[in-house]
Structure 1
Amino acid sequence: MFKSKANGIKKEVIRLERESVIPILKPKLIMTLSNLIQHSADRAEFVKFSKRVEYTIRAWYHLQFEDLMQLYSLFDPVYGAKKLQQQNLSPEEIDVLEQNFLIYLFQVMEKSNFKIVSNEEIDVATAGQYLLNLPITVDEAKIDKALLKKYFEEHPKDNLPDFADKYVIFRRGIGIDRTTNFFFLEKIDIIIARLWTLLMKRTRLDKIFGKKLGRARKKVPRKDEDISADLHVERIRLEKMELSIRNLISKTTIQEPTFDRIIVVYRKKSEGREKERGINIKHFKNIPMADLEIVLPEKKNPGLTPMDWVTFIASALVGLVAVITSLEMPKADLWVIFAILSTVVGYCAKTYLTFEANLAAYQNLITQSMYEKQLDSGRGTLLHLCDDVIQQEVKEVIIAFFILMEQGKATAKELDQRCEDLLREEFGESCNFDVDDALAKLEKLKVISKDPTGKYASLGLTRANDIIGVTTEELVLKARQGSFQTE
Structure 2
Amino acid sequence: MGKKEKKRELMRLERESVIPILKHRLVAALSSLIERKADRPEFVKLCGRVEYAIRAWYNLQFEEMMYLHSFFDPVHGLEQQNLTPEDIDSSEEKLLTDLLQVMEKSNFKILTDYEINVALSAQYRLNLPIKVDESKLDKKLLRRYFSKYPHDDLPFFADKYIIFRRGIGIDCRTDYFFKTKLNTIIARWWRHFLKYTGIKRVFFRKSSAQSNINPRGRVQINSEAEPDNLYIERIRIENMKLSISNLLSKNTIQEPTFERIIVLYRQASDEADMDRGIYLKHFKNIPMADMEIVLPEKQIPSLTPVDWVKFVVSAVIGLVTVLTSLQMPKADIRIISGILFALVGYCVKTYLTFQKNVVAYQNLIARSVYDKQLDSGRGTLLHLCDDMIQQEVKEVIVSFFILMQKGTATRQDIDLHCEELIKKEFNVNCNFDVDDAVKKLEKLGLVVQDADGNYSCVELKHANKIIGTTAEEVVMKAREGAGIP
The farther-off stretch of 279-288 and 29-38 is 29-38
Match of 2:216 in 1: 218
In structure 2, C-alpha distance between the alignment counterparts of 1:429 and 1:226, rounded to whole Å: 18
Match of 1:428 in 2: 427
How many pairs were matched up?
A: 457
Match of 1:173 in 2: 167
Alignment pair present for 1:137 and 2:131 = yes
Map 1:359-374; keep pairs closer than 5 Å. 359-374=358-373
Map 1:56-205; keep pairs closer than 5 Å. 56-84=53-81, 88-201=82-195, 203-205=197-199
Match of 1:333 in 2: none
Return closer, same or farther for 1:247/1:358 CA change in 2, 3 Å cut-off: farther
Return closer, same or farther for 1:395/1:204 CA change in 2, 3 Å cut-off: closer
Alignment pair present for 1:36 and 2:30 = no
- 1:303 is paired with a residue whose SS is coil
Q: How far off is 1:38 after superposition?
A: 1.6
* Contact 1:50/1:398 (<8 A) preserved: yes
Match of 2:329 in 1: none
* Contact 1:73/1:83 (<8 A) preserved: no
In structure 1, C-alpha distance between the alignment counterparts of 2:52 and 2:78, rounded to whole Å: 35
The farther-off stretch of 283-292 and 222-231 is 222-231
Return closer, same or farther for 1:94/1:352 CA change in 2, 3 Å cut-off: same
* Contact 2:177/2:250 (<8 A) preserved: yes
Partner letter of residue 409 of structure 1?
T
Match of 1:264 in 2: 263
Q: How far off is 1:44 after superposition?
A: 1.1
Match of 1:457 in 2: 456
* Contact 2:11/2:221 (<8 A) preserved: no
Match of 2:392 in 1: 393
Write the deviation string for residues 186-221 of structure 1: whole angstroms up to 9, x where unpaired: 233333333434444565444433449xx9771223
The farther-off stretch of 189-198 and 468-477 is 189-198
Return closer, same or farther for 1:196/1:348 CA change in 2, 3 Å cut-off: farther
Return closer, same or farther for 1:457/1:349 CA change in 2, 3 Å cut-off: farther
Write the deviation string for residues 270-303 of structure 1: whole angstroms up to 9, x where unpaired: 1462111100000001101011111100011111
* Contact 1:259/1:285 (<8 A) preserved: yes
The farther-off stretch of 121-130 and 476-485 is 476-485
Write the deviation string for residues 68-127 of structure 1: whole angstroms up to 9, x where unpaired: 11111111101213223xxx1111210110111001110110010000000010011101
* Contact 1:192/1:350 (<8 A) preserved: no
Partner letter of residue 218 of structure 2?
V
Where does the alignment leave 5 or more consecutive residues of structure 1 unmatched? 1-6, 326-343
Match of 1:334 in 2: none
Partner letter of residue 114 of structure 1?
F
The farther-off stretch of 238-247 and 56-65 is 238-247
Map 1:223-372; keep pairs closer than 5 Å. 223=221, 229-271=228-270, 273-305=272-304, 308-310=307-309, 312-314=311-313, 317=316, 355-356=354-355, 358-372=357-371
Write the deviation string for residues 342-367 of structure 1: whole angstroms up to 9, x where unpaired: xx999989975874564244223312
* Contact 1:113/1:172 (<8 A) preserved: yes
Partner letter of residue 185 of structure 1?
K
Where does the alignment leave 5 or more consecutive residues of structure 2 unmatched? 325-342
- 1:100 is paired with a residue whose SS is helix
RMSD (Å), alpha carbons: 2.9
In structure 2, C-alpha distance between the alignment counterparts of 1:405 and 1:441, rounded to whole Å: 16
In structure 2, C-alpha distance between the alignment counterparts of 1:322 and 1:121, rounded to whole Å: 49
In structure 2, C-alpha distance between the alignment counterparts of 1:345 and 1:251, rounded to whole Å: 38
Alignment pair present for 1:27 and 2:27 = no
Q: How far off is 1:406 after superposition?
A: 1.2
Match of 2:332 in 1: none
In structure 2, C-alpha distance between the alignment counterparts of 1:434 and 1:199, rounded to whole Å: 53
In structure 2, C-alpha distance between the alignment counterparts of 1:403 and 1:310, rounded to whole Å: 64
Question: What is the TM-score when the length of structure 1 is the normalising length?
Answer: 0.87
In structure 2, C-alpha distance between the alignment counterparts of 1:143 and 1:314, rounded to whole Å: 37
* Contact 2:120/2:216 (<8 A) preserved: yes
Match of 2:327 in 1: none
Write the deviation string for residues 403-444 of structure 1: whole angstroms up to 9, x where unpaired: 101111011111000000110111111100011111111101
* Contact 2:117/2:215 (<8 A) preserved: no
Match of 1:403 in 2: 402
In structure 1, C-alpha distance between the alignment counterparts of 2:33 and 2:258, rounded to whole Å: 33
The farther-off stretch of 349-358 and 441-450 is 349-358
* Contact 1:196/1:347 (<8 A) preserved: no
Match of 2:337 in 1: none
Write the deviation string for residues 362-403 of structure 1: whole angstroms up to 9, x where unpaired: 223312223210000001110010000110000100110111
Map 1:445-484; keep pairs closer than 5 Å. 445-484=444-483
Partner letter of residue 298 of structure 2?
K
Partner letter of residue 143 of structure 1?
L
Question: What is the TM-score when the length of structure 2 is the normalising length?
Answer: 0.87
- 1:300 is paired with a residue whose SS is coil
Partner letter of residue 49 of structure 1?
L
Return closer, same or farther for 1:288/1:354 CA change in 2, 3 Å cut-off: farther
In structure 2, C-alpha distance between the alignment counterparts of 1:228 and 1:423, rounded to whole Å: 16
* Contact 1:131/1:361 (<8 A) preserved: no
- 2:409 is paired with a residue whose SS is coil
Return closer, same or farther for 1:466/1:302 CA change in 2, 3 Å cut-off: same
Return closer, same or farther for 1:403/1:475 CA change in 2, 3 Å cut-off: same
In structure 2, C-alpha distance between the alignment counterparts of 1:106 and 1:98, rounded to whole Å: 12
- 1:261 is paired with a residue whose SS is strand
* Contact 1:74/1:81 (<8 A) preserved: yes
* Contact 2:176/2:248 (<8 A) preserved: yes
Q: How far off is 1:248 after superposition?
A: 1.5
In structure 1, C-alpha distance between the alignment counterparts of 2:267 and 2:180, rounded to whole Å: 36
Partner letter of residue 12 of structure 2?
R
* Contact 2:128/2:304 (<8 A) preserved: no
